A and B are shown apart, each in its own frame.
Chain A
Amino acid sequence: MSALLEVRGLNVVFSGFHAITDLDFTLDHGELRFLIGPNGAGKTTLIDVITGLTKPASGTVTFGGEALVGKREFQIVRAGVGRTFQTSVVFEELTVLDNLDLAAGFRRRMPALLRRRHGVSDDVASALDTIGLGDLADRPAGVLSHGQRQWLEIGMLVVQRPRLLLLDEPVAGMSRDERERTGELLQSVARDHTVLVVEHDMDFLRRFASTVTVLHEGRMLCEGTVAEVQADPRVQEVYLGRTREELDKEAA
C-alpha cells in the first residue's frame, strides 16, 4: 500500500504505432527513481500519460489511490504531480521572479489572484536562490539561455511542492558543474518528495541514482540498481553501447 504511483497494463498507440506496450510500473513514496532507455523507448510518453497530455489506449494510472487517466492536465497538477519538459518552456514576457511566482500560485484563490504581487514569498526566494538566477530575477525570462531556462524550469517545479516530480532530461545542456549542482538539488528534493528522472547522462546516473528502470521499445527491459542495470548485457546492447575502454580493448 505504500506505492505512490501505480501504472498497470499501460498501452499507448499512435495511429498504429505502439509506443508503450503492457507496461507495469510502480513508484514508492519518497523514491528517487531514474528512468533510462534508448531514444524512442517511450520514456517521455510515459510521463505524458501520467500528466494527462497523452491518452492511453488502455491501462490505469493510480496516484495516491486516485485514478489519473481521464483527468485534465491541471487537475493532475493539483493532485500533486509536477513535471518539466524535454524542451524547456518558460514564459518569456514575464520576469524570472514572476515565472516562479506564477508556478507557486496555483493554489491561490481568486481574490488573492486579483491582487498584485507584493514582495517575494519565502518559497520563491529560496527557489530563486537554489537555481542561481538571483541576478536575473527581474529580467524577462525570454533573455535566458538554454541552460538558464532549464534551471528556471526546475525552480518552477520545486516551488509547486508536488508530491511527485517528473523530470525529463533535466541536465541536458548543462555543464559538468551545473549537473553536479542539479544532482544535489534533486537529492535534497527527494528527501521529502518522490522523484522520477529521465536522463541519458550515465555519469550523472552513476553519481545520483539508486534504482533505475530501463524501458526498451515501449516495454520494461529491466529494473535494478545502477550496477545491476549497467551490467545487464541487454542494456549494454540496446542502450549503453560499448564504452571507449571496451572499444580500445577490442582494438588491441
Chain B
Amino acid sequence: AGCADDPSEAGGSSGDTIKVGILHSLSGTMAISEVTVRDSELLAIEEVNAAGGVLGKKLEPVVEDGASDWPTFAEKAQKLINEDKVATTFGGWTSASRKAMLPVFERNKALLWYPVQYEGLESSPYIFYTGATTNQQIVPALDYLKEQGKKSVFLVGSDYVFPRTANKIIKAYAAANGMTVVGEEYTPLGNTEYSTIVNKLGQAKPDVVFNTLNGDSNVAFFKQLRSGGFTDKTMPTVSVSVAEEEVAGIGPANIAGHLVAWNYYQTTEGATNTKFVEAYKAKYGATKVTSDPMEAGYNAVKLWAAAATKAGSVEVEAVKKAAGGIALDLPEGKVTIDGENQHVFKTARIGLIQPDGQIKEVWNSGEPVKPDPYLKGYPWAAGLSS
C-alpha cells in the first residue's frame, strides 16, 4: 500500500477533469443550513466550468455528507483527500466541524475552504477562511451597538466553541468600552425550549441581546421571544448566525425589526450580486433566497479557481502561494485574499430584518476590513489569544 500517495502530486488533476471536494451536512440538524451552501458552491462550479474550467479542465465536484457529525466530517475529509485525491475541498459550517477537519488537512497537506463566519483565533496554513472573522462581523456589530447607546448586553448562544469564544470576545470588548454583560446563557445545539431564557431576559431587561445561537434553535428562540410579549422595540437583538434562510424558517413576522450582522445580504447592491441571485434562483427555484454563508461558499470556489489559474497548477503549495492578493469582484463587493492569514478582506454590514423576510442594510464599514483573526490590532483583546 502506498503511503507515498502525496495528494499534492496527484493534485486531483489526472485526466481531463479536476476533482474538488464538497463536504457539508446533507442530513442531521445542520442540513437545514449547509445544504444551501452546497448548492451555491455547485452553482459556482457550474459557472467556472461554463467559463472554460480551470487550466483548461472542467471541475468535477465530489459531494460528501458530513451528517452534522464532526467525526464524520473528519472521515469524509480524509476520504476526499486519500481516495478521491481532490485538488481542494470546500466545506464545513460549524466551527466544531472545522476543528475536526483541521488536523486531517494539516496532516495531509491538503486545502480546505471554509465559508462561514467564525470565532477567529485560528489560522491554519491549510485552510482558507472566506467567511468573516470576528473583526469583520462581531466587533463592528459591537461598535454599532455602542454607537446606538446600548449599555447592557445579554448573551445567548449555542453551547459550542463559536458562541463561547465569540462571547469571550464580547465580554472583553464590553469591559473596555463601558458596556455591561448582564447575563450569559448557553443551550445545546438543537435546543428548542426557550421560555425560561425569555423569562430571564425579561428580568434582566438588557438594552440588547447578542445572539450567537446556531441552526434550529433560532426559530424556537425568536418565536418564543415574540410570544413571550417582546418585540424588537422592547427586547432588541442582534444576531450573527441568522441569515435570509433562517429568517424564512423563523417567520419574518416573528423577527422583523431585529438586527443582524453579516458581510452580505441578498439585497446587497451591485451587478455581480444581481447576477448571482438570478443565477441561483434560476437553478434552484424562484422562491429561494441567498445568504451570507452561501455567498462565501460561492466566493470560495471562485477564489480558488482564480488562484489555481494564477499559479498555473492546482498543486496545494502553488495555490497557497498564488492566492495572496487575489482580488475579485464578488456578490458582496470586492474581496481580496490576505496572503498572510489566508482570510479575506470583507465589508462589514449591519442589517435590519424586514417584514418580507429580506434584510436591509443600515450600516456598513465603507470599505473591506482587513481580517485580523487574532485581534492583534485591538488593545482590549490583548488577553484573548493566549
Direct A–B touching in the complex (beta carbon < 8 Å)?
A: no
List residues of A whose CB falls within 8 A of some B CB. none
